[in-house]
Amino acid sequence: MELTKQGHACIVISDGDQRIVVDPGAFTDPSALEGATAVLITHEHPDHFEPQRLRAALDADPALELWTNTSVAVLLEGLGGRVHVVGHGDAVTVAGIDVHVHGELHAEIHPEIPRIANVGFLVGGQVFHPGDALTVPDEPVATLLLPVHAPWSKTAELIDYVRAVHADQAFAVHDGALNDIGLGMVGGLLGERGPGTPTPYSRLAPGDSVEL
């Protein structure tokens, strides 16, 4: 299985000729959807979900299917059974790969801003993408995709989250709004300049891949 970073929150998981694209939002190059076998969307925010781009990809490939929560599915009406609604606790098969769904709500941005639905996906029993939440799955995670920067997060919470998940390794996602200075500060606190976690942390640049 191969993991490829595709910019901000988007990653691609490849296994043989299967290619699962997670959260190809507005800050991701549209080419990330080329050759996709399936798409997973964690929630409706535009940096994770770009409806016109997804409709175009689904129109171009009648075999392409998508899994997401109810809120996103409503915004893709008219695509019939190609859009599958999932929720916390579900276990589904996507492009021949087992996917478990964890989480229900987006992290709190501010008490006066209503929280929206958010689901995380554990793909192939290995890679967990939590979307915009710090959901701790009730099963082992080999590779954690860590949202390192958002209006709702602070680095202290990320350190505690990495400790709680206790994955074998963690890679940065949701980092499109950070410059090199910010990436270095967060990376240091999650690594050698921080209080310590049991999980090695690193960052893939957009387009980089790693074998899992």
Residue 168: its pLDDT value, please?
98
Residue 80: its pLDDT value, please?
83
Residue 111: its pLDDT value, please?
97
Residue 126: its pLDDT value, please?
97
Residue type at 121 in one-letter notation: F
Cβ-in-10-Å burial (0-12, 13-18, 19+) of 91 comes to exposed
Report helix, strand or coil for 58.
Answer: helix
Residue 174 belongs to some domain of the structure: yes
Phi first, then psi: what are they for 182, rounded to 5°? -65, -40
Residue 113 belongs to some domain of the structure: yes
Residue 18 belongs to some domain of the structure: yes
Residue 43: its pLDDT value, please?
98
Range of the domain at 100: 2-204
- DSSP letters, 65-82, are EEEE-HHHHHTTTT-GGG
Do 45 and 21 form a contact (C-beta atoms < 8 A)? no
Q: Domain tally for the chain?
A: 1
Do 40 and 66 form a contact (C-beta atoms < 8 A)? yes
Q: Give pTM, 2 decimals.
A: 0.97
Residue 57 belongs to some domain of the structure: yes
Residue 193: its pLDDT value, please?
95
Residue 77 belongs to some domain of the structure: yes
Residue 137: its pLDDT value, please?
98
- DSSP letters, 197-211, are -SS-EE-PPTT-EEE
Select from 54, 36, 41 the least CA-distant residue to 95.
36
Residue 175 belongs to some domain of the structure: yes
Residue 211 belongs to some domain of the structure: no
Residue 78: its pLDDT value, please?
86
Residue 212 belongs to some domain of the structure: no
Query: How far are the Cα atoms of 37, 117, 151 from residue 21, in angstroms, in the given order?
Result: 8, 20, 24
Q: Extract the residue ranges of the chain whose pLDDT is less than 70.
A: none
Which CATH number fits the domain that encloses residue 139? 3.60.15.10
Residue 6: its pLDDT value, please?
96
Strand order of the β-sheet with 169-173 is: 91-94, 97-102, 120-123, 127-129, 143-147, 169-173, 201-202
